[in-house]
Chain A
Amino acid sequence: MKKLSLENITDADIRTWPNPDPKTLPEGRRDAYVARRSALMAVVGGMTIRAAAKAYCVSRSTLSSCVEKALLPGPDGHPLGFRACIPYRHRQPKPEVAGLVEPPAAKGPGAFSRLVAATEGLAATIDGYSGPLPTGKRKCRRFDRFFRTVLNAVREAHGKAGYPFDVPDHGRRALREYVKRTRLQRKEAARPEVDQDAPLSSNLRGLFQDGPLDRIEYDAHTVDVELQLSIDTPDGSPVLRPIQQITLLVAICAVTRYVLGYVLRFGAYNQLDVLRLFHRVLQPWLPRELIVPNMQYGPGAVIGVQALTGHQAARGLLLAGDNAFAHLAHAVVGNLRSHHRGVLNYGKAHIAEARGIIEAFFRRLEEGALREIAGAFQPGSMVEEGRTKTNYLRPEDHPIHAEAFFDLIDVIVAGHNITPHSGLQLRTPAERLRTHIHGGGWIFEAADTDADAARLTTVRIHPTVRGNQKTGKLPYIEWGHAKYRSPKLEGAWSRVGKRHAAEVNLEDVRTMVLLDTDGSGPWSKLHALPPWDASPHDLLLRKSIMSARSRGLLEIEGSSDAVAAYHEMVRTKAWRDGAGVDQLAQLNRTRGSTTPSAKTPRLQPVAFAPREGRFSFGAGRKEK
């Protein structure tokens, strides 16, 4: 064995060495890595190679190669450090061959690398190839052309004898492997081997003292219940269709575990639901009129801060959520920052430790309350485990009654606030928060909460006013697939072709308020033209209607109410194909579950007759 000098290694400062987390490695290599790392640390600490290898059950030659590699520079320029201990990851560089490299005479290990080294300019040619590599499934013409270029270069340099012409594929596979290998090396060099942003140390968690309402955690949770929705078919008989997802969005105080508000919806949630959640947090909670006879609120059950502060509106100081797209949407971040105020915090998703209180709340809710509902299940902790039913009630025998289900969740969530909690020395969350507020504790209040709540769902846009005075096309604004007009705008030819600030409430996009030219005050309220003026709808519903239209599922030209047409389409699809049941349940809640036959005629007259465009006064909606 080669004699190894241990002087350099014992002088090294291992605190500066990159130290990969074993969890980031494939499972089969973790133990070997940990053993080698411990052995290397022992060697740095002064142990001999022989003793360390024996103590940590590592091969002596492996350990000495680790020791040698640890001081070598890695692909990022820093010493390899403990990365040297990862099995099969980093090799010791081969000693440099002095002088000119001879091209390989015949096939053999390393022949292609030697060929590249021996042929001038070939390495640059191969490095410059950025096309796809053949996978054996389909022809790859770009790689074929590249392969011919490489062969030509080899032929010019060394003639037609020897490697690669002595193998059947003329080195095609070797070229592919070579390119693949160099690409992998380049990728690894660019990738930080050690996580750059260090995890928050436990000390810094306590950088701010946490008091009641200082930190509000919010998140969405898919309720672990399989429910069936009963839908009436046109012949009057009901069919059962499964609801795919029920989402519960909750905002909870991280110190007192007091629930400030929640939003329950069928299907996946979106950015508007996040804004709705905080809209509710700012508004006083009212008990529902429960329709199930034997269901009632617990004594003193309450949600929201207003009830505890004598209808002053206290708020949280820091809203902590995960980095879901719906949470980080521009409208959500901008409006919460400006109108809810305080600090917003976004962290990585699926880390229970980062927002432990809300995760614990969801767990408590599932285990304490929802496991007894027909169709409730316990999700497996592994994907292959699947779901385990938690009771013997069949969801098919108990189709969902939406109002009763919403009543139930309201009762349960309000009940949580008055249930003694072991984390609060068996006091109730409501009691804990009340003590803080009545004891003169610091809370953030704002006088004009209603205005702030209203502004949460309002966004400012800058649309262009369209129109043409020559052809007589009156000024209008096109935004969100709809046209907007007002009598005041129709005479304002000077505004045509210019961008103007306007404000839209995302909850109801039937109207838009155009602002003064300096953006300081309202100028005119515009109304959407048919078919968007009849039913109230939010922007995301309009987007899904337009996407259904562009997929050919829906025809809204000539219809008087696009939302009604969409509702009917969703209903038909739900009973016929069992698709979009969540959408139907959600639409039933917001629009009321009217059957197509029992549709009431619209009472209010159309505000504006369309003057041009794609509308028709024909027979109405086309029958499918």
Chain B
Amino acid sequence: MHATPPTPKIGSVSPHFAARPDLPDAPFSARPLTRSEQRRGDLYTFRSPKLDRPVEVIHRARLAMALELEFDPDVTVWVERPRLLAVNDTEIELCFWRRSVSGREGFHLFVDAATTTQDGTRRVRHHRQARDIIQAANDAGLSLEFVFEAALLERKSELTSWFRLLPYVQTAATLPHLAALERLVEDAFLAQARMSFLQLEQNLGSHAAADVRAVACRFIHLGALQLDLSRPLTRLSVLSKEVAR
């Protein structure tokens, strides 16, 4: 028999609900999806640890782009569906806007294989309307970057790793003893610069392994720890504290 659902611990309120600092200021706000878009499209939604708000995107490729922005430590803030761009009597919706640590801002547009043509001699992919869109973006003073389907597929293993790390990063933000655990993990990496997840968990054996792993994932998300992304993620994957950049 299934256990009868216990009455929730109503007395305790998780820090998830506690007061939080305001969102980093972004010049755009995401266009909310309409009810029909939510119901008709291939909808993906998750809580973004970086933005501290729920994100909704249509299409798997945009989920991949969102995860890339989410896990790029160089990106400080990003917004999905920031604005429309008028191109030759029609309007196309730009997929993402992002701002880097350096202050550089830019837009991303997903280009699926059906809207690209390939140059026969140089094997370079182009958007069918590339010239018009670039012209329109220049006219509007926007820095626009095309993200091609083929390029996303090349980064498959990286994307899978981000996808698998995401729930841990989300969990880390809800931990009541996050600050203490963060200090412990930092100390552990001061003593030994390269450790696998398993080693780290054994080092901090007095804490729940899942919590320790969540904090390690949070450090990867913040860019404080590095992970070899070319290999599939396992509990034996090696984390390193290297000053690469």
Contacts and interface: CB of A to CB of B under 8 A. Distances in A.
Interface of A: 16, 77, 197-198, 200-201, 203-209, 211, 214, 261, 276, 279-280, 283-289, 312, 315, 317-318, 323, 328, 333-334, 337-339, 341-348, 354, 410, 440-442, 444-447, 450-451, 453-455, 457-458, 460, 503, 505, 507-508, 511, 513, 515, 518-522, 525
A451 B114 CA distance: 46
B209 interface: yes
Interface string B30-52: 00000000111111111100000
B170 A207 contact: no
A433 to B, nearest CB: 15
Contacts of A338: 16, 47
Nearest to A262: B2
A279 B164 contact: no
Contacts, number: 187
Nearest to B16: A338
A212 to B, nearest CB: 11
Interface string B180-191: 000000000000
B234 interface: yes
Nearest to B208: A447
B18 A447 contact: no
Contact of A284 (B3, B61, B166, B214): B3
Given A208-B156, A354-B42, A442-B235, 17 more contacts: A214-B163, A261-B2, A317-B163, A334-B54, A337-B54, A343-B63, A345-B45, A440-B234, A441-B235, A442-B164, A442-B233, A445-B209, A447-B208, A450-B6, A451-B12, A460-B17, A522-B10
Contacts of A442: 164, 232-235
B64 A208 contact: yes
A201 B61 CA distance: 10
Given A284-B3, A520-B13, A323 B166 contact: no
Interface residues of B, number: 65
Interface string B156-180: 1101100110111011000000000
B170 A342 contact: yes
Contact of A454 (B1, B6, B19): B6
B101 interface: no
Given A440-B198, A451-B14, A518-B19, A337 B3 contact: no
B7 A508 contact: yes
Contacts of B44: 343-345
A604 B211 CA distance: 42
A164 B55 CA distance: 60
B128 A16 contact: yes
The CB with the most chain A CB atoms within 10 A, among B61, B156, B163, is that of B163
Contacts of B153: 203-204, 206-207
The CB with the most chain B CB atoms within 10 A, among A342, A343, A346, A445, is that of A343
A441 B171 CA distance: 19
Contact of A505 (B7, B64, B159, B211): B7
B116 to A, nearest CB: 11
B236 interface: yes
Contacts of B210: 312, 445-447
A323 B14 CA distance: 29
Contacts of A345: 42-45
A453 B3 CA distance: 12
A204 B39 contact: no
B34 to A, nearest CB: 13
Nearest to A203: B153
By Cβ-Cβ distance, the 10 closest A-B pairs, closest first, are A454-B8, A447-B208, A288-B1, A445-B210, A342-B167, A346-B43, A343-B46, A341-B170, A209-B160, A447-B210
A253 B43 CA distance: 19
B33 to A, nearest CB: 11
A77 to B, nearest CB: 7
Contacts of A440: 198, 234-236
A458 B7 CA distance: 10
B222 to A, nearest CB: 18
B147 interface: no
B81 interface: no
17 contacts: A197-B42, A201-B113, A207-B60, A208-B163, A214-B163, A286-B1, A286-B2, A286-B3, A323-B40, A346-B39, A346-B45, A440-B234, A442-B233, A444-B164, A444-B167, A446-B214, A520-B18
B113 to A, nearest CB: 6
B156 A207 contact: yes
B151 to A, nearest CB: 11
A323 to B, nearest CB: 5
B125 interface: no
B122 interface: no
Nearest to B117: A15
Given A209-B156, A333-B45, A445-B209, A200 B60 contact: yes
Nearest to B150: A203
B59 A200 contact: yes
B11 interface: yes
A346 B5 contact: no
A284 B2 CA distance: 7
A214 to B, nearest CB: 7
Contact of B8 (A201, A337, A455): A455
Contacts of A279: 5
A505 B5 CA distance: 11
A220 B149 CA distance: 33
Contacts of A323: 38-40, 43
B2 to A, nearest CB: 5
B109 to A, nearest CB: 15
B13 A522 contact: yes
A329 to B, nearest CB: 12
A520 B156 contact: no
B98 to A, nearest CB: 20
Nearest to A209: B160
Interface in B119-150: 128, 149
B245 interface: no
B85 interface: no
B112 interface: yes
B213 interface: yes
A566 to B, nearest CB: 22
Contacts of B7: 454, 505, 508
B89 interface: yes
A285 B2 contact: yes
A445 B46 contact: no
A505 B10 CA distance: 8
Nearest to B171: A446
Contact of A337 (B47, B114, B152): B47
Contacts of B58: 197
B164 A214 contact: yes
Nearest to A407: B1
B198 A346 contact: no
Contacts of A285: 2-3
